[in-house]
Amino acid sequence: MTDTTRPTPDPAVAAYPVDDELVLYDPRQGQGFVLNPTAARIWSLCDGSRTVAAVAAELAAAYALGDEQALSDVCACLEDLRRAGLLRP
Amino acid sequence: MPACSAHRPPGVAPAACPDASAAVRILTFQARVCGPAALVRAAQALRPRAPAWTTTPPVVASTTFAMRPDPLSLSGYQLLREGTPLDVIHPPRALLAALDTAITAAAVDVLSGQYLLIHAGAVAYADRSVLLPAAAGRGKSTLVAGLLAAGCHYLSDEVAVLDPPTGRLLPFAKHLAIKRGGAAVLAQLYPELASSVPRLHDGREVVWYLPPPRGAWPARPVPLRYVILPDYVPAAPTTLVPITRTDALAGVVQQACRLPAHGAAGFGSLVAAVREADCYALTVGRLGPAVDQLLRLLDG
């Protein structure tokens, strides 16, 4: 995954907001995942139109983070989501 | 000329049940139990009659269980499901508990296709239901028995039934299965435990079957309003602590039965039900304070 990748949720994955968190369910795995508010925000920004860099920029603005910190957090989160099979590519 | 019996068209019929039989209904599941009359009567006595409104829908699936003396042993009994031996039970006093376990397992098999089943205790109070999901040994049955003695309605001590379209809980008709530690704690609330016969459960653990108190069934399906994750910790202070709905959901999912078979729609129903609930973790050091805390919550 690079800064210019445009991550997209896997269409099989269902998302359910619960309070300020987000619960994802992958019916193929029969497995649920809980995203905390920050990860939920990142997930909501991954709509296929934004690059990883753009997602990081929006996160930096939302949480008053430095660019480097935001990019690092976004990459780590996207990697977790990708490994869990929830995200494309 | 040799005598010739009258011709009959070929046919296959289930083997006749010996002596006696009885039907046990749990929602849309029916178990037919047959065997020596005294054993069938004793088996019937170990299952409560389900409230009539839960057995109005037609039977979706029926399973026949038979009990018969084992021809190869002096004192053992065979337990058969649809004519196939499940086990030879020694000693005979374990037979009824094995049958009860087999009926519950068969009911769970069938009902888990129609409902979301959760390994949980469940009670109702003032038309609000409380779900108590927990692994075995966390004190679900004892806690449910304590809540029933305090006036709650009974849904289950082990298998909670959630109706996905409505998010309401339905009763799963079974007696409470009280283990040795629970029986000691409940002795004052349920004096009848002292005179009831303990059963050998799974061939190793002694349980007392406690019928739900008269009038304990709710009159209708009950909306889910509380998810409480109970944990029995001997001698610990009893505490009731709010938790996030996602933590509660994780506890429910962990105890859900065959959830993947329901797909995203089933998971979504579970999420929708938990979204409407207030959620807590309950550490039970002693039963009395735990029941008091829950009643204060339900009264509030």
Give A5-63 pLDDT, tens digit per residue: 899 999 999 999 999 999 999 999 989 999 999 999 999 999 999 999 999 999 999 99
On chain A, the residues whose CB falls within 8 A of the CB of B263 are: 27
Q: What is the model's pLDDT at position B200?
A: 75
Q: How far is A48 from chain B (nearest CA, A)?
A: 22
Whole-number Å distance between alpha carbons of B14 and B5: 22
Q: Are A56 and A50 a contacting pair, CB within 8 Å?
A: no
Whole-number Å distance between alpha carbons of B139 and B282: 11
Residues B264-297: tens digit of each pLDDT: 999 999 999 999 999 999 999 999 999 999 999 9
**A9 — phi, psi (to 5°)?**
-60, 140
Taking the Cβ of residue A11 and every Cβ of chain B, the question of whether any pair is shorter than 8 Å is answered with no
Residues B133-180: tens digit of each pLDDT: 999 889 999 999 999 999 999 999 999 999 999 999 999 999 999 999
Taking the Cβ of residue A63 and every Cβ of chain B, the question of whether any pair is shorter than 8 Å is answered with no
The yes-or-no verdict on residue B13 having pLDDT over 70 is no
Residues B70-80: tens digit of each pLDDT: 888 877 889 99
Q: What is the model's pLDDT at position B246?
A: 97
CB-based contact A21 B253, cutoff 8 Å: no
In angstroms, what CA-CA distances link B245 with A22, B203, B254?
11, 38, 14
**Residues of chain B numbered 266-295 and touching chain A (CB < 8 Å):** 267-268, 271, 274-275
Q: What is the model's pLDDT at position A89?
A: 67
Q: Decide: helix, strand or coil at residue B57.
A: coil
Q: Are B94 and B76 a contacting pair, CB within 8 Å?
A: no
Closest residue in chain B to residue A34, using alpha carbons only: B246
In angstroms, what CA-CA distances link B36 with A24, B39, B40, B67, B92?
52, 5, 6, 7, 13
Q: Tokens for B20, please give them.
A: 């006696």
Contacts of B269 (CB under 8 A, 6+ apart): B116, B162, B164, B165, B167, B262
On chain B, the residues whose CB falls within 8 A of the CB of A86 are: none
On chain A, the residues whose CB falls within 8 A of the CB of B244 are: 19, 21
CB-based contact A27 B267, cutoff 8 Å: yes
pTM: 0.89
Contacts of B218 (CB under 8 A, 6+ apart): B51, B124, B127, B129, B153, B154, B155, B171
Query: Which run of H or E residues covers position B294?
Result: helix B287-299
Whole-number Å distance between alpha carbons of B163 and A20: 26
On chain B, the residues whose CB falls within 8 A of the CB of A21 are: 244, 246
Residues found in chain B: 300
Q: Are B120 and B131 a contacting pair, CB within 8 Å?
A: yes
Share of chain B above pLDDT 70, in %: 93
Q: What is the model's pLDDT at position B6?
A: 54
Taking the Cβ of residue A61 and every Cβ of chain B, the question of whether any pair is shorter than 8 Å is answered with no
> How many distinct helices (H) and strands (E) make up chain B?
8, 17
CB-based contact A21 B244, cutoff 8 Å: yes
Whole-number Å distance between alpha carbons of B272 and B266: 10
For residue B185, the cross-strand partners are none
Whole-number Å distance between alpha carbons of A58 and B262: 37
CB-based contact B271 A21, cutoff 8 Å: no
CB-based contact A19 B264, cutoff 8 Å: no
Contacts of B215 (CB under 8 A, 6+ apart): none
Write the single-letter amino acid at B221.
P
Residue B179's nearest CA partner among B138, B150, B212 is: B138
